[in-house]
Amino acid sequence: MLELLAKYAHQRGLEAEPGFAPKQVRWAIACADGPSGCVFLDVIELGEAGQPRNKGQLFAKCPDLSQPEMVAGGITKSHFLVDTAQVVALLGDNAAQPKVTDKHKYFIGLLQRCATVMPELGLVASLLESASTLDAIQNRLTALKARPEDKVTFRLGARYLVDLDGWHDWWRLFRTQLTAGEGVNGAGPSRAHQPQAARESLARCMLTGQLTAPLRTHPKIKGLAQFGGIASGDALISFDKEAFRSYGLEQSCNAPVSEEAANAYRAALDYLIREHGQTLAGVRIVHWFKERVPEEDDVMPWLSEGADRQDRNAQEALQRLLSSIRTGQRADLGANRFYALSLSGVSGRVMVRDWMEGRFEELVGNIAAWFEDLEMVQLSGDVRQAPGIERLVTSLLLPRKRDQQYVDWVRPLGAERGALWRSAVRGDPIPTSVLARVVSLNTRFHVSSALEADLPAGETLLRIRMALVRAYWKRKRTGGGENGMTAQLGPYLNESHPSPAYHCGRIMAVLGEIQRVALRDVGASVVQRYYGAASATPALVLGRLVRLAQFHLDKVESRKRRDALEQSLAGIWASIHDHVPATLTLEEQSLFALGYYQQKAAAKREAIVPADHGEKGDDQ
């Protein structure tokens, strides 16, 4: 995995040189070179100015110090050219603390030291040393509602100083001197000047196979703060406990990686998380390909968008793409491979939740099958295709509370999230744990007032959950082959379905409709009162409810409606052949729910019972 990430970084030309890294900067302090020195002009918001989630502008090559470099020598340090508003401009309530002021002074000192090769930086340093100018910068940042942790850099005239290359060589030399005697990142003296006695500390790099002085601390991965990580970054490889030491090796020497290789995989992950990541129930999923794939042929983002794409029909587009690969028209894609990682952060570490790889052709076929299996009729009668996978997974949860954090809300879905992701990408079966959640939530939904009193608000969730039930059965395998029920489950009602549980659900739907037409508004409907019991023990409940329905039918004013409801009820009983199950298993309860849902949709689509509450005179 690490080797593939490093190759991706080199193929895409991502910046992987040690000491440099891309950074997103929110604010730029604009200044000009005047007759009497540097003059502060304004603070400029970069990126999508005015947007609440504006991350700023990405600068591809910024100076970057690792954590060991930041603490080397016991001196309080700052970053160079790009740092937080708190450090650069002493913004915030904690700006007067000694640690912050020391970082501010160090930031100015770096500008002054680099001014020997790049005089413009000396002008900026003098600007920050002026108390009145610093006050003006602080006031302007405050007026723009900048946060102390926002990144800040400088623009002199029309040029951003971090974009110039005049500081690069000075910075490289500065880093080699920063940890004198320890080498960069505490990895030993510079390899070019390594003494003979130190060669015993060399090890084979896990990524390149070359002898190297392994890093003790790897660079941090950014972008996982909202997925359990921390804003300063999380380590993918780290060892900090005695139990993790092998053969006397300390820290990351247990997994030897060169500084260049570590920066390469870090650059690749940072880029993928930022530019090609998808959010899925508390994790960040990134993917890439062995060879470049045109953006319009990258089908992985379609899982997030869902099959209801505005620009084209996803099913047709996937089938066309799959056909072109199999016929050899797109040989470039047929030989390609995909890689996918599921990532989150825990206590400063990157957690790899899942890793998948495979042929691009298989990926397209699996996503096409995923969309097809999730097709489900709406209660309004139209078929809808698969929703985005994030919406699909979170449909397994109760509604999010107003003050509940997103990460806390989705935390219970760890196993189901991974299972559904693998099902979509690899075509795996859906586990029964997903079915158990659907059945439980579906029962709670029906015994509440949501179905009868506020149907539109819950219809989408109900459809998505029923689509999951259908996908479960479509992907269920028995005896090494296809399940016999697979062909019997379509997006619409199937009146000849072989499962009695399915038809018991249909009966429950008709009973609810009979009561609604006969009595109109009732306090607690038959569905709300008996759905849970009927879906678990239909033989105990349905017979009694059918007898009660005869009294309701007598109150239906329209003979046409009454006849249609009686015929529907009789037809379903004929499908069961009077063999109503005493109890239903979890799988059978899911079929009960699906039969109930599809029967209600069919009633509206086929106008068995008109949507309005009746027109008198239709007996003639």
DSSP per-residue string spanning 127-169: HHH-HHHHHHHHHHHHHTT--TTSEEEEEETTEEGGG-STTHH
DSSP letters for 373-393: HT-EE-TTS-EE----HHHHH
**Token duo for residue 278:** 């998808």
Q: Is residue 453 part of a domain?
A: no
pLDDT band at 619 (very low <50, low <70, confident <90, very high): very low
From the list 381, 544, 333, 375, the residue with the least C-alpha distance to 468 is 375
Query: Residues 188, 182: contact at Cβ < 8 Å?
Result: yes
Residues 412 and 540 in one domain: no
Beta strand 337-346 with 349-359 is antiparallel
Domain coverage including residue 121: 16-178
The mean per-residue pLDDT over the stretch 289-299 comes to 90
State the chain's maximal CA–CA distance in angstroms: 108
Q: How far apart are the first and last CA of the chain?
A: 75
Q: Buried b / exposed e across 330-360, counting CB within 10 Å, b at 16+?
A: beebeebbbbbbbbbbeeebbbebbebeebb
pLDDT band at 251 (very low <50, low <70, confident <90, very high): confident
Tens of pLDDT, residues 530-548: 889 999 999 999 888 988 8
**Token duo for residue 269:** 């992950």
**In the prediction, which pLDDT does 142 show?**
94
Query: Which residues make Cβ contacts (< 8 Å) with residue 147, sequence separation at least 6?
Result: 85, 92
Tens of pLDDT, residues 202-219: 888 888 888 888 888 888
Residues 417 and 500 in one domain: no
Q: Is residue 68 part of a domain?
A: yes
**Token duo for residue 234:** 């999380």
- For the cut 60, the answer to whether the pLDDT of residue 199 exceeds it is no
Tens of pLDDT, residues 380-393: 777 777 788 988 99
Residues 418 and 528 in one domain: no
Tens of pLDDT, residues 217-250: 888 898 898 898 888 889 898 887 777 677 777 7
- For the cut 80, the answer to whether the pLDDT of residue 493 exceeds it is yes
**In the prediction, which pLDDT does 179 show?**
63
Query: Which range has the top average pLDDT, 225-234, 558-567, 583-592?
Result: 583-592
Query: Which residues make Cβ contacts (< 8 Å) with residue 45, sequence separation at least 6?
Result: 26, 27, 54, 56, 144
**In the prediction, which pLDDT does 290 show?**
92
- For the cut 90, the answer to whether the pLDDT of residue 257 exceeds it is no
pLDDT band at 451 (very low <50, low <70, confident <90, very high): very low
Residues 288 and 379 in one domain: yes
**Partner residues linked to 341 by β-bridges:** 286, 355
Residues 505 and 395 in one domain: no
Helix H or strand E segment including 273:
helix 259-275
pLDDT band at 80 (very low <50, low <70, confident <90, very high): very high
The mean per-residue pLDDT over the stretch 315-337 comes to 87
* pLDDT more than 70, % of the chain: 88
Domain boundary among 178, 202, 229: 178
- For the cut 80, the answer to whether the pLDDT of residue 58 exceeds it is yes
The mean per-residue pLDDT over the stretch 504-510 comes to 92
Domain boundary among 404, 428, 452: 428
Q: Buried b / exposed e across 65-93, counting CB within 10 Å, b at 16+?
A: bbbbbeebeeeebbbbbbbbbbbbbbbbe
From the list 526, 459, 499, the residue with the least C-alpha distance to 587 is 499
The mean per-residue pLDDT over the stretch 10-29 comes to 87
Residues 25 and 174 in one domain: yes
**Average pLDDT of the chain, as a whole number:** 84
Residues 172 and 300 in one domain: no
Q: Is residue 191 part of a domain?
A: no
Lowest-confidence segment of 68-72, 79-83, 435-439 by average pLDDT: 68-72
- For the cut 90, the answer to whether the pLDDT of residue 141 exceeds it is yes
The mean per-residue pLDDT over the stretch 440-459 comes to 61
Burial class (CB in 10 A: 0-12, 13-18, 19+), 397: middle
Residues 310 and 414 in one domain: yes
Question: Residue 295's CB: how many other CB atoms inside 10 A?
Answer: 7
Q: Is residue 485 part of a domain?
A: no
**In the prediction, which pLDDT does 213 show?**
83
Alpha-carbon gap, residue 356 to 376, rounded angstroms? 28
Residues 37 and 169 in one domain: yes
User: Would you say how long the chain is, in residues?
Assistant: 620
- For the cut 70, the answer to whether the pLDDT of residue 485 exceeds it is no
Residues 424 and 498 in one domain: no
- For the cut 60, the answer to whether the pLDDT of residue 613 exceeds it is no
**In the prediction, which pLDDT does 180 show?**
56
The mean per-residue pLDDT over the stretch 566-589 comes to 87
pLDDT band at 486 (very low <50, low <70, confident <90, very high): low
Alpha-carbon gap, residue 277 to 269, rounded angstroms? 10
What is the count of structural domains for the chain?
A: 3
**In the prediction, which pLDDT does 608 show?**
42
Q: What three-state secondary structure class fits 608?
A: coil
**In the prediction, which pLDDT does 342 show?**
94
Residues 21 and 162 in one domain: yes
- For the cut 70, the answer to whether the pLDDT of residue 347 exceeds it is yes
**Token duo for residue 38:** 């540097």
- For the cut 90, the answer to whether the pLDDT of residue 620 exceeds it is no
Lowest-confidence segment of 91-100, 232-241, 304-313, 389-398 by average pLDDT: 304-313
Residues 532 and 424 in one domain: no
* pLDDT more than 90, % of the chain: 37
Q: Is residue 259 part of a domain?
A: no
Alpha-carbon gap, residue 541 to 580, rounded angstroms? 10
Domain boundary among 132, 158, 178: 178
From the list 159, 183, 154, 184, the residue with the least C-alpha distance to 17 is 184
HSE (side-chain half, CA atoms, 13 Å) at 427: 13
Q: Is residue 10 part of a domain?
A: no
From the list 504, 454, 500, 493, the residue with the least C-alpha distance to 606 is 493
Alpha-carbon gap, residue 487 to 476, rounded angstroms? 12
Query: Which range has the top average pLDDT, 8-12, 177-181, 549-553, 612-616?
Result: 8-12
Q: Is residue 271 part of a domain?
A: no
Alpha-carbon gap, residue 530 to 542, rounded angstroms? 9
Q: Is residue 34 part of a domain?
A: yes
Q: What three-state secondary structure class fits 42?
A: strand
